[in-house]
């Protein structure tokens, strides 16, 4: 059952789901199975199967439908959707997977996740891709906070462009997010030419799905409440 304004979040470490590999493989459509088979190594092929199988399982559980029978549609930039809803988005970082699901099919949402780590040339990447106010905020921070700040900014920007469905066709320096550690996640500014409304039309959430991970959720509108849901007991290794 959905709570008012609830967005269900599911986090999984795929290393704990390897025993579900063949069961998840059986859920995939022929095109999904073919996509997984094109990866260069068995490790990457298995991750693809587990990611997609877990997504189908969660959507099947939410809708009460056979997860193997779900048929996805794809937007112009490749973002998948489920006709009739619910809205969903998936992010992954190697073995770490984060799924967001919201009721209805018209909700615009996106998630992203990264490992908290030192990023080589973070300053150079920020200078090239971040908006002016983000670059100024990043440069003003002490060195000890810059790794987290950079990943805050990166995941929030990725979540936003995934929510709009435009992906990396959106110039990352045409909108700005709050990236300073300890401050609430929010969209600070948005170029009107991006046709994504106003900055105030969007909600951003800082997500920490597991120790050592940084994540973000972007969703159009107000009043949303992200809630983590545990994996089913049957998934335990």
Task: Dump pLDDT digits (tens) for 24-45.
Answer: 999 999 999 999 999 999 999 9
User: 121-159 burial, b for 16+ CB within 10 Å, e for fewer?
Assistant: ebeeebeeebbeebbebbeeeeeebbbbbbbbbbbbbbb
Domain span holding position 179 = 6-235
109-115 and 213-220 as β-strands: parallel, antiparallel, unpaired?
Answer: antiparallel
Instruction: Tell me the per-residue pLDDT of 112-126, one tens digit each, with 9 for 90 and over.
Output: 999 999 998 999 999
Q: What pLDDT is attached to residue 35?
A: 96
The answer to the question of residue 1 being in a domain is no
Q: What pLDDT is attached to residue 218?
A: 98
Contact 172, 130 (CB under 8 A): yes
User: Whole-model pTM?
Assistant: 0.95
Query: In which band, very low, low, confident or very high, does the pLDDT at 235 lie, cut at 50, 70 and 90?
Result: low
The answer to the question of residue 48 being in a domain is yes
The answer to the question of residue 191 being in a domain is yes
Segment 50-66 mean pLDDT: 96
Query: In which band, very low, low, confident or very high, does the pLDDT at 233 lie, cut at 50, 70 and 90?
Result: low
The answer to the question of residue 74 being in a domain is yes
Token pair listed for 212: 């050592």
Residue 193 has pLDDT above 80, yes or no: no
Distance separating alpha carbons of residues 232 and 237, to the nearest angstrom: 11
Reduced to 3 states (helix: H, G, I; strand: E, B; else coil), residue 117 is: coil
Token pair listed for 147: 């790794």
Segment 47-57 mean pLDDT: 98
Count of the separate structural domains present in the chain? 1
The answer to the question of residue 64 being in a domain is yes
Segment 212-232 mean pLDDT: 94
The answer to the question of residue 98 being in a domain is yes
Residue 53 has pLDDT above 50, yes or no: yes
* CATH classification of the domain holding 153: 3.90.470.20
């Amino acid at each position: 059952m959905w709570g008012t304004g609830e967005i269900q979040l599911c986090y999984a470490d795929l290393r704990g789901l390897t025993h579900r590999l063949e069961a998840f493989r059986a859920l995939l459509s022929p095109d999904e199975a073919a996509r997984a088979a094109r990866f260069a190594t068995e490790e990457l092929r298995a991750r693809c199967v587990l990611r997609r199988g877990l997504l189908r399982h969660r959507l099947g559980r939410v809708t009460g439908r056979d997860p193997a029978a779900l048929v996805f549609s794809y937007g112009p930039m490749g973002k998948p959707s489920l006709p009739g809803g619910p809205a969903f988005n998936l992010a992954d970082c190697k073995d770490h997977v984060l799924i967001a699901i919201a009721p209805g099919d018209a909700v615009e949402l996106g998630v992203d996740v990264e490992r908290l780590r030192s990023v080589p040339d973070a300053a150079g990447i920020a200078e090239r891709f971040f908006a002016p106010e983000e670059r100024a905020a990043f440069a003003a921070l002490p060195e000890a906070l810059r790794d987290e700040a950079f990943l805050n900014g990166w995941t929030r920007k990725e979540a936003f462009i995934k929510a709009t469905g435009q992906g990396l066709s959106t110039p990352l320096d045409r909108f700005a997010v709050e990236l300073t550690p300890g401050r609430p996640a929010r969209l600070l500014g948005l170029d009107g030419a991006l046709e994504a409304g106003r900055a105030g039309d969007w909600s951003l959430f800082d997500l920490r799905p597991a120790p050592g991970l940084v994540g973000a959720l972007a969703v159009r509108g107000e009043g949303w409440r992200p809630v983590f849901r545990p994996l089913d007991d049957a998934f335990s290794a």
